[in-house]
Amino acid sequence: EHRSRKKRLRVTAPHLKNSHKEILITFEDLDAQGQAMGPLPNGYMGFTWSDSAWFMTGLFSSSVCIGIRVGLLNANGENITMESKRLFDLNELSLSTLWADKAEVRVEGWEKEARKYAITQTVSRTSTTHCALDYRNIDRVELKAGGAHIVVNPITVFVK
């Protein structure tokens, strides 16, 4: 017996990210004026960064981090926060440790003082851990490394 099958059309709503502007944060546009590292400038890429957020140049990072040319560093092993007055989506980031062979890094997404997302990643010095995230409608990201020094590069966010 032959049955005819009708094709189903799959209609999907446009993904939220399509209405957002993608920002790829690589820190490569920053100038430390001949220094190996420096604090992130106030308002860099439209975000407010914690005082512990510094960037490393190729002068420093290439000698201590495999495959990292420039990156975000948590000075003194402190937590890093990036905040915005506008909601954004955190799509992905890449992590590695600076000195320690391995470390646990907690990536948290917050909105209006309420934690909406959290994931803990084991990262190492010998490879980069790529974190594909789907943190939507947040206003703050916290990177908590438990005192270990970490390097972050790149970070992909979507803003309205």
Q: How far apart are CA 9 and CA 60, in angstroms?
A: 54
Q: Strand pairing of 129-144 and 102-111?
A: antiparallel
Task: Note the Cα 18 to chain centre separation in Å.
Answer: 19
The pLDDT score that the predictor gives to residue 157 is 97
55 burial class (0-12, 13-18, 19+ CB within 10 angstroms)?
buried
Q: What is the 3-state secondary structure (H, E, C) of 76-123?
A: HHCCEEEEEEEEEEEEEEEEEECCCCEEEEEEEEEECCEEEEEEEEEE
Q: How far apart are CA 95 and CA 115, in angstroms?
A: 21
The pLDDT score that the predictor gives to residue 37 is 86
Q: How far apart are CA 39 and CA 52, in angstroms?
A: 8
Written as six digits, the tokens of 142 are: 């916290």
Kindly give the confidence (pLDDT) of every residue in the chain, 160 residues in length, as a single tens digit, with 9 standing for 90 and above: 444 444 433 333 344 445 679 999 999 888 888 888 889 998 999 999 999 999 987 666 555 555 567 889 999 999 999 999 999 999 999 998 888 899 999 999 999 999 999 999 999 988 889 999 999 999 999 999 999 999 998 999 999 8
Decide: 30 and 72 in contact? Cβ < 8 Å: no
34 burial class (0-12, 13-18, 19+ CB within 10 angstroms)?
exposed
The pLDDT score that the predictor gives to residue 12 is 33
